[in-house]
Amino acid sequence: MRDLSCFGDGSVAVSAAASVSGRGCALERSLQAATTSVYSARLSSGKEILVRVTWTRSTAGAAGLAVAFDDEGLPSSPSRSRSAAAQQQQQHVLRKKRGSRSLVTGAGTAVAVHWDVTAAEYASCPASSPEPCGGDYCLAVFADAELALLLGKGDLSRRFASEPVPYSRHLVSRREQLRGGGGAEAAATTAAHATRCRFREGGEEHEVTVRACGGGGGRGGVEGEVRVSIDGEEVAGVRRVGWGFRGNRAAVLGDGEVVDVMWDVHDWWFGRGGAGAQFMVRSRAEKEGRLWMADQPAAPPPGGFFLHVQCYRQ
């Protein structure tokens, strides 16, 4: 892994990057963790639909599941300019552990959702992902009678395996939000989280680790650090935060993947809540030659998987 280019440790406009996975959506105080994945499916008719799946865990330990759909004005980026309130209104919370639901989207797509998480198993660690980690569970989404999305393990998911599938489908972005990522003993000063993802469909799986240490209560000072590592190698780091609470890097991974790494720990560092400590990693499209936000800071990225991690104080 090598560093491709450096854009400095100073303040940069990373808000456009965060908008890909819902920058304005702060983690509700009632939640311990939330993971939102956006999937794109192109149907045989040529129509494209985005399916947003959110798994949550409350501070009391209860699991939750919600879905949302977007097929208006597509094909386009999932970061179309809409308010967080508008996105929230289109979210369908699946309150029961098993059921089915049918609806028609604003663009006229007939959607059917089937889910069963009765036998799903979840990690016991509060800082882990709220997604099921085992057991027998299923989430199936049909769009115009085509299987747009199938998640799960065991017999429940296999019963949909023979259903008609869309022309193409892939994971567009993923946002992971959690409280006290540094552990109970360090929650006041440390944000830390590790996750795994693929930056390209069919590509290698990578482990991404993020960490912000120090700050809080408006006493940021210059001590503390920010680090982002991929597969155990550091790709971005600030040893003395100071004014380096926002920044970006680009790096080439061992498999040749080029990724842009961005961070914004301003709210975490100065103890202002808000968006917490944010880390963003996005794979570049094949023909991209520079950091996507360098030329168009207000525009959505042109392509590539996008990972967005937000860590909040307890």
- Listed residue (58, 128, 142, 126) closest to 95, CA to CA: 58
Q: What is the pLDDT of residue 164?
A: 75
Q: Which helix (H) or strand (E) holds 162?
A: none
- Nearest residue to 249 (alpha-carbon basis) of 291, 311, 199: 291
pLDDT value at position 81?
42
> pLDDT tens digit string along 47-63?
999 999 999 999 999 99
Distance CA 197, CA 173 (A): 10
Q: Cβ contacts of residue 75 below 8 Å, gap of 6+?
A: 42, 48
Measured CA to CA, the distance from residue 159 to residue 163 in angstroms comes to 9
Q: Which of 173, 172, 170, 148 is nearest to 43 (CA)?
A: 148
Q: Where are the domains of the chain?
A: 2-312
Task: Sort 168 into a burial class: Cβ within 10 Å, 0-12 / 13-18 / 19+.
Answer: exposed
Residue 40 pLDDT = 93
Verdict on whether the full-model pTM lies above 0.75: yes
How do beta strands 306-312 and 168-179 pair? parallel
Chain-centroid distance, C-alpha 5: 24
Quote the pLDDT of residue 101.
Answer: 95
Q: What does the pLDDT read at residue 216?
A: 62
Strand ranges, E, within the chain: 2-6, 31-42, 48-58, 63-70, 92-93, 98-104, 110-122, 132-143, 146-153, 168-179, 190-198, 205-213, 225-230, 233-238, 246-252, 258-264, 277-283, 306-312
Residue type, 288: E
Q: Which two tokens mark 235?
A: 């790709």
What residue ranges of the chain have pLDDT lower than 70? 1-24, 73-89, 167, 181-188, 215-223, 272-274, 286-303
The span from the CA of 75 to the CA of 153, in Å, is 30
Which whole-number Å values give the CA distances from 105 to 70, 92, 102, 110, 148, in the listed order?
Answer: 8, 12, 10, 7, 14
pLDDT score of 159: 84
Distance CA 152, CA 130 (A): 14
- pLDDT tens, position by position, 150-199: 999 888 888 887 777 776 888 999 999 998 755 544 556 788 899 999 98
Separation CA 45–CA 186 (nearest Å): 52
Q: Let me know the angle formed at the C-alpha of 280 by 293 and 89, rounded to the nearest 5 degrees.
A: 95
pLDDT attached to residue 119: 94
pLDDT in tens, 289-306: 554 444 443 344 445 799
pLDDT score at 76: 41
How much is the pLDDT for 128?
86
Helices (H) and strands (E) in the chain, counts: 4, 18
What pLDDT is attached to residue 292?
A: 45
